[in-house]
Chains A and B, each alone.
Chain A
Amino acid sequence: MSLVKINIGPVHPSTHGLLRLVVTLDGDTIVNVEPHVGFLHRGVEKLAENRMYMQIPPFIEKCDYVAKMAMDEAYVATVEAAMGIEPNERAQYERVILLELQRIASHLLWLGAMLNDLGHFFSVFMWTFADRDKVLKLLEEATGQRMFYVNMRLGGLRQEFPKDFEYHALDVLTYLEKRINEYESFIENSSLFKERMYKVGVLSRDDAINLGVSGPVLRASGVNFDVRKDKPYYVYKKLNFKPIVLYNGDNFSRYKVRILEIKESIRLIREAFKQMPDGNATGMPIKLINPAPKNKVVRVSREGPRGEIMFYLVADEQRPYRLAMRTPAFINLAALNHIARGNKFANLFPIIGSLDLVMADVDK
């Protein structure tokens, strides 16, 4: 039996990014998948050593350009831990609301892109994009910017929420609940979807822990680990947060975890609006900062929509001496070889779609 090597080049009609795959086939089953990355590498860790602390957030936001608020908040929390500053309680509630809204927007884009890979050519994509536009309008009302909101300051936000923000947000949330139930009912009833998602691309529990994956990929294989519950930060304890764990490890479990996370985020935002105290949530403006770091070596991890984001900072006086980042899509892509062996070749792209990759995350 002779093996065939196929090249799937860097520019291809799916919306993940620039990724080259060299696939070795035996008939119709996959023997080996080797990803070649690096088409978007620009050296963020080296550039961060030449900038001051509050000049770096635009670089960090362009790493994961679908969930920008999560990366920005993780970096600012690292600098706050180095300087010894803590935000007050109203600022913590407002940050949690913005983070959960960003998680809903990111999962809606994932849903459209994955069904695009399965073969629904841009039809469900249009509907989820229209819903995502409503959430982006809410974020534009709160921060003033459409795409790159550099909104986090040391000790709070850049500005307070406007007056009618709560009523607009609750309207959008009731609309979104109905739409998510509609999507679930008609997507899961189609028999083509069931054939390509049940028992395809199985990742066992021991393999998932050994490979080091994180996020919904880890929780769909039966491991109960979520940074919001095991190393809690801000007010997640008061909001009674529970992680979502499924036990099969195939494509369908990874899809279902994210749909249930959207519903959990809607519940968290409603609770946070009821419990929020009065006060002032603006942080320190940029020019008045006197950088004098109290702790020289800091490490902070947060939960983004794709997995765990970790920053490791060795602090100098005016600029960082070394800033190391652990981005979630890097190690999720390294697990592709273990997942895709033994499957048919036509099922390769649903597997990639269920891992939820953003290629600028992989090449830092």
Chain B
Amino acid sequence: MKDFITAKQEFDKLVEESLKKYKPKVPVVFTKLSEVTKAITSNMIIWSRKNSLWPLQFGLACCAMELLDFGASRIDAERKGFLVFRATPRQSDVMISAGWITKSMAPEVKRLYEQMSRPRYVVAYGECSVSGGPWYESYNIIEGIDQIVPVDVYVSGCPPRPESLFDALLKLQEKVGGKIDN
């Protein structure tokens, strides 16, 4: 019962705030209905989209062990909204790419990215996705995932601790909400 009460209070606060911006100086209200609903719903849409980003299960190599730790019970991913790791790209928002990319795997990554529905975001997790990692002289490695898909947040480390993945996803939430420029 507690959750129900606080969500309703938040909804009331949002309605009041959005109505305040459109108060004219004359004590008579002349607005279009579409502008009122747009003001209410755009804030609602951004708030709900920000707090429920569902990741795609894309752990390729050793950084996948830290992704499993990120979803397990000590460092909980559920408390901030990353509820389920979906297996199909049509139902997910964020692609967390963990592991190195070889030449055989590159067309599959591109195909998976194009199957995700908009708005979609990409997080590059670990040194091998950022810049190729320790395999820089190898004949079968692509250096960094940003040669194939556009990336929003980079996390460096080998492997980075799961707490730093949490920090990166909080920054992604700010970017979705519109506070950080670009």
Contacts and interface: CB of A to CB of B under 8 A. Distances in A.
Contacts of B60: 17-18, 40
A320 to B, nearest CB: 16
A129 B62 contact: no
B112 interface: yes
B104 A39 contact: yes
A148 B87 CA distance: 28
Given A41-B102, A50-B137, A11 B58 contact: yes
B138 A43 contact: yes
Contact of A147 (B61, B62, B72, B112): B62
A225 interface: no
A62 B72 CA distance: 22
B64 interface: yes
B69 A129 contact: yes
A59 B128 CA distance: 13
A35 interface: no
B44 interface: no
Contacts of A40: 60-61, 99-100, 102, 105
B112 to A, nearest CB: 7
A18 B72 contact: no
Contact of B73 (A13, A59, A129): A129
A70 B31 CA distance: 72
Contacts of A17: 60-61
B108 interface: yes
Q: Looking at chain A's contact residues, is the secondary structure mostly helix, strand, loop, or mixed?
A: loop
Nearest to A14: B87
A130 B74 contact: yes
Interface in B50-81: 57-62, 64-66, 68-69, 72-74
A56 to B, nearest CB: 11
Contacts of B72: 125-126, 129-130, 133
B102 to A, nearest CB: 6
Given A130-B72, A360-B62, A59 B134 contact: yes
Contacts of B138: 42-43, 46-47
A35 to B, nearest CB: 14
Q: How large is the interface on A (under 10, 10 to 19, 20 to 34, 35 or more residues)?
A: 20 to 34
A24 to B, nearest CB: 23
Given A13-B57, A58-B134, A129-B72, A42 B140 contact: yes
A41 B68 contact: no
A146 B160 CA distance: 10
B144 interface: no
B61 A10 contact: no
Contacts of A133: 69, 72, 74
B135 interface: yes
Contacts of A9: 108
A147 B66 contact: yes
B146 to A, nearest CB: 19
A146 B161 contact: yes
A323 interface: no
Given A38-B104, A126-B73, A62 B61 contact: yes
Nearest to A59: B134
A159 B31 CA distance: 74
Contacts of A146: 161
B30 interface: no
A330 interface: no
A38 B141 CA distance: 12
A65 B68 contact: no
A126 B77 CA distance: 13
Interface string A40-60: 111100110010000000110
Given A11-B108, A147-B62, A360-B62, 19 more contacts: A9-B108, A15-B59, A17-B61, A39-B105, A42-B100, A42-B135, A46-B138, A50-B137, A65-B62, A126-B73, A129-B72, A130-B72, A133-B69, A133-B74, A146-B161, A147-B159, A148-B158, A148-B159, A360-B61
Interface of A: 9-13, 15, 17-18, 38-43, 46-47, 50, 58-59, 62, 65-66, 125-126, 129-130, 133, 146-148, 360
14 contacts: A10-B105, A12-B87, A15-B68, A17-B61, A18-B105, A38-B104, A39-B104, A39-B105, A40-B61, A40-B105, A65-B62, A66-B65, A130-B72, A133-B69
